[in-house]
Structure 1
């Protein structure tokens, strides 16, 4: 005897839905966007209302990053010791320790030499090319002869330290930059460039006035022969912030937002 099972329209519909659900594949979950890893101290930071991007690790290979240790150079305490041949700046503390920062320096024959005094410190400084810059490389600096106010467009970056000899401004600066490739190389018109993250870090550790020593070739060879001649010489250029900052470029024309203090 054959038993025939009867289904109501409602029960049959429920079975069909269950069967369909069992066979359907779960919806695909889109992959999470890849997070750019940054070395400690070189990630994105907020400063004066700006979002500064992190430094990609490709620019921080080997010795081309901030390091701290015992100072073994020839400068006195409470000094900034710049080695234009090894492309480093040392903040020499009173206790004999130091933080070493990678820098970009001037091309051959364009770097400051000897000693100077850092007398002024500025956050988000404006920049105007010198008459010598305009005369020797008008194709690079001519469009900026009127100057650039402080902010994301300024080639001096997030901070600048102004070097003097006596009461005379040397027009050389230690400053931040958006030209990441220049750090560890020779490529500026003579100033000493740092990653913005590094120049902010240094700025927060020091006070003016402060002695600055620029090592001679002989001193560099004595103290750091291993890194002597590090880097290559690059042509002069000014990096457009739009190329680097992406969405943050909307804030290019907004002045920095300083605390009331």
Structure 2
């Protein structure tokens, strides 16, 4: 009996050693890896202020164009509906058409295929100076000079130094036409109204200019690259 008891105890002892060995093998099968809390905890993750995103920072960030530095736009201070975005084409117009909806303060460029449009927020002319109708974008210019029409000079005599015949205002980031200008003609004649860039970001969505349709400089550069040559344009009232 004593011999049998010893044998059983020896077997149990060996089994226990084997179990411990097996557990030790699982626990040490490879180096343990610990992820720092800072890498996974939202409390340590970098974040942008409310209303800002990396995508919009890239869209409306500072850029260099034509030797000029265009400042970043604080887009989070502008209603999001005025951000550049692709939307379904609800205008009823064919591909390649530019539509300005003055009531909603939107400009649409209908994309190839006609199913979608790029939409931009705009500022428009004050009551009494707004233009509407249908025309053609006959001419386009990067970093244009600005020459106010005589009617504007009559209202604002301080602009006389830029009047027709003077050569106008030099191109630059303070020029009222901004980085690009698209010139609207009707029946073969210059209407004197433009789609143009704009250094005053807080004018988007408002009626503040003397009739022209203004976009953020970043947006007019994007539109300039997309719009077809001699595109048809419609300005809705």
Confirm whether residue 154 of structure 1 aligns to residue 175 of structure 2: yes
User: Does structure 1 conserve the Cα–Cα contact (< 8 Å) formed by 2:139 and 2:184?
Assistant: yes
Aligned to 1:196: 217
- Report the Cα offset of residue 59 of structure 1: 3.6
Larger Rg computed on CA atoms: 2
Confirm whether residue 137 of structure 1 aligns to residue 156 of structure 2: yes
TM-score (ref. length: structure 1): 0.65
- Report the Cα offset of residue 149 of structure 1: 1.9
User: Does structure 2 conserve the Cα–Cα contact (< 8 Å) formed by 1:80 and 1:92?
Assistant: yes
Cα deviation 1:193-219 (Å, max 9, x = unaligned): 000000001111123200000113xxx
**Distance in 2 (alpha carbons) for counterparts of 1:59 and 1:184:** 12
Aligned to 1:107: 126
Residue 63 of structure 1 aligns to a residue whose secondary structure is helix
Cα deviation 1:97-145 (Å, max 9, x = unaligned): 1010000000012111110100111100000110111123335x34543
Residues matched between the structures, number: 182
**Distance in 2 (alpha carbons) for counterparts of 1:112 and 1:86:** 15
TM-score (ref. length: structure 2): 0.71
- The answer for unaligned runs of 5 or more in structure 1 is 1-34, 217-261
**Distance in 1 (alpha carbons) for counterparts of 2:130 and 2:226:** 25
User: Does structure 1 conserve the Cα–Cα contact (< 8 Å) formed by 2:197 and 2:220?
Assistant: yes
After superposition, residues 28-43 of structure 1 pair within 5 angstroms as 39=56, 40-43=58-61
Confirm whether residue 95 of structure 1 aligns to residue 113 of structure 2: yes
Confirm whether residue 173 of structure 1 aligns to residue 194 of structure 2: yes
After superposition, residues 41-56 of structure 1 pair within 5 angstroms as 41-56=59-74
> CA RMSD, aligned part only?
2.0
- The answer for unaligned runs of 5 or more in structure 2 is 1-47
Residue 200 of structure 1 aligns to a residue whose secondary structure is helix
Residue 74 of structure 1 aligns to a residue whose secondary structure is coil
Larger helix fraction of residues: 2
**Distance in 2 (alpha carbons) for counterparts of 1:159 and 1:99:** 17
**Distance in 1 (alpha carbons) for counterparts of 2:135 and 2:156:** 26
